[in-house]
Every structure is written in structure tokens, then in C-alpha cells.
A and B are shown apart, each in its own frame.
Chain A
Amino acid sequence: MTADVQTLASESGCHLFSGCGFPSPGLNVFEFKPIFSIGAFDFTKPMLLALISMLLVIGFFWSAFAKPKMVPRGAQNVGELGYLFVRDNISRETMGKKGDPYVPFLFSIFFFVWVMNVMAIIPFAQFPATSRIAFPASIVGVVYVTYLVLGIKNQGFVGYFKNMMFPPGLPKAIYFLLAPIELLQGLITRPFTMAVRLFANMFAGHMLIVTFSVGAWYLLGFHIGALFSATSFLVVVILTAFELMIQALQAYIITLLAASYISSSLEAEH
């Protein structure tokens, strides 16, 4: 569990009936003491976890694809499975064959985000780096720049915004009302919702697990609380399984959205 709340609960022996209130976890669960500092720059646990995730993804796929064989074995097998999943279920599904040049990009996003998410339930890590908004926001920033540049490159500056703001097949009068919504959607709410969706899901998931873990510890004792403690612990186990699913789903959704936005930049919708 996360440092502060748990040390607070465990070191003080804070239990029910020991004259100690429930140390309810709050935003402090997401704030860490710096591991080390260089000047004003603090290196914290989420950064460390993001770095480890990056190294894990690079390391694994390096070992899988460094010396590819015609008949894949071991890591290459798993790596190809992952690649084919992103290509067939995300890229080809949204863009068809012309999306193939973007598969490596989507592939990196998917696995980087997924590994960062899974860190939430790995013992000792137990924190999803994506529950700090900076990580989803910077990933989405890269996607944002990518689809804007691609759109302007493929359809021209005027063409891109024209296609974005005026979907074909509507009476002229209604464009006047709809174009501002489209512009707002394409430039602001799209990246915003994309980042917030990932962030909020991971934030809430982590919060749930922490709350029930602290609850299980707090209620523990040789009295009626033990019953509730066991229930709370059971909930932690169920939530952990649930989170495992959510983590993969959120990584999938952010990649799917990236693919769908890149697709809308490649050519106008008809």
C-alpha cells in the first residue's frame, strides 16, 4: 500500500477500539516524499515506476524481436501476439490497411500504459503511475500533436478544419450551430477527455483498493471487528481482480481512441 497512510495505520497500531479514528486515505495517498532531489527537481515514486515500466517494455520487446526467427519461440511468440493484437483489433479495425504505418506508435502506447497501470497491483510497486494526471496528459499530448500534424499534412490546413467542422450531409443552416461544437471537440475536449478517462479510472481504482486495505487493517482485532476486517479483505481481493481487467481495458481504450483520431486525420469522414 502507499507509504503514508499505511505507515500511519501500522506504526501507530491504529485499530478499532484502540481509541484511534479511522485513518481515511485521501489525496495524500498520491503524494510521495521525493526519493532524491536535484535542486528543485524531486524524483518521486511515480517517476521511478514510469521509468521501470519503460525499461520493462523496451527490455521485453527487445529480447523478443532483436533476433527474429521464422518460427517464433518463447518471448518472440508473446511479442508477436501482442503486436498482432494491436494491429488487427485496434489499428485495422479503425483504419484498415492504411493504418499499418502507425501500428508501432499505437503498440508503444498500449504496452507502456498497460504496464504502468498494472504496477497498481504489483507488490511493492502498488501504484499506477497513470493515476498522476501528468503521465496520461503527456501521452495524450503526443497523440494530439500527431493527429493534428497528420491531419494538416494530409488534408491541408483549411481542408482539415473544414472537414472537422462541417460533417457532410446536413442542411446548411444547422452548420452554423454545430461547427463550434465540432471545433471545441476536435481541439479541446477530445484530448482532455482522453487523458482524464485514463487518469480518473486509475485514480479511482487505486483509491478503492487503498481504502479497503486500510479498512481491513484498522478493523483487525480479537473482537467483532475481525469479521468486518475479513470482509474488507475479501473486497480487496475482488477489487484487485477487477482492477486487473480495468487496467487492460483502459490501455486498450486510450490506444483505440488514438487510432480513431489518427484515422480521422488521415481522411475526411464520408
Chain B
Amino acid sequence: MDGAAWSSVGYLLSGMLFYGGIGWLIDRWTGHSALFLPIGLVVGIALSLVLVFVRHGRSS
């Protein structure tokens, strides 16, 4: 164990923050109440999972 499990939480948060934030901005800009925010959150989680896998999953 080298802190990988604990830092993964940070990646998930970062992904959600960044892409959720972009989604929220698009929502504000286009006048939707909550359309792009949830999409952004899901995209963010997906991308940060990719990142967690790249950083920690392939430990060869």
C-alpha cells in the first residue's frame, strides 16, 4: 500500500469539480437548470477513473 487508495479519492473529486464546474457554467450560459451539470459530473468521474487506472492500476 503506497497511498494509492487514498489519493484516488482526490482524483475523483478533481474530475467531478472540473467537469462538473464546466457543466454548471454551460448550464448558466444556456439557461438550463440542471442538464450539463450532471453530464459533466459523470464525464468527470469517468475521466478520473481512467486517470486512477493509468496512475495506479498498471503497476508494472
Instruction: Please report A residues at the B interface, Cβ cutoff 8 Å.
Output: 93-94, 167, 169-170, 174, 177-178, 180-182, 184-185, 188-190, 192-194, 197, 253, 256-257, 259-261, 263, 269
Contact = CB atoms under 8 A, between A and B. Distances in A.
Contact of A184 (B6, B9, B17, B55): B17
Interface string B29-41: 0000000000000
A58 to B, nearest CB: 27
A83 B58 CA distance: 31
B2 A181 contact: no
Contacts of B17: 184, 189
Contacts of B9: 193
Contact of B3 (A94, A167, A185): A94
B23 interface: no
Contacts of B51: 167, 178, 181-182, 185
B7 A260 contact: yes
Contacts of A189: 10-11, 13-14, 17
Contacts of A261: 3
Contact of A190 (B7, B19, B48): B7
Nearest to B43: A177
A181 B7 contact: no
Contacts of B54: 167, 169-170
A188 B15 CA distance: 12
Nearest to A255: B3
Interface in B1-29: 1-4, 6-7, 9-11, 13-15, 17-19
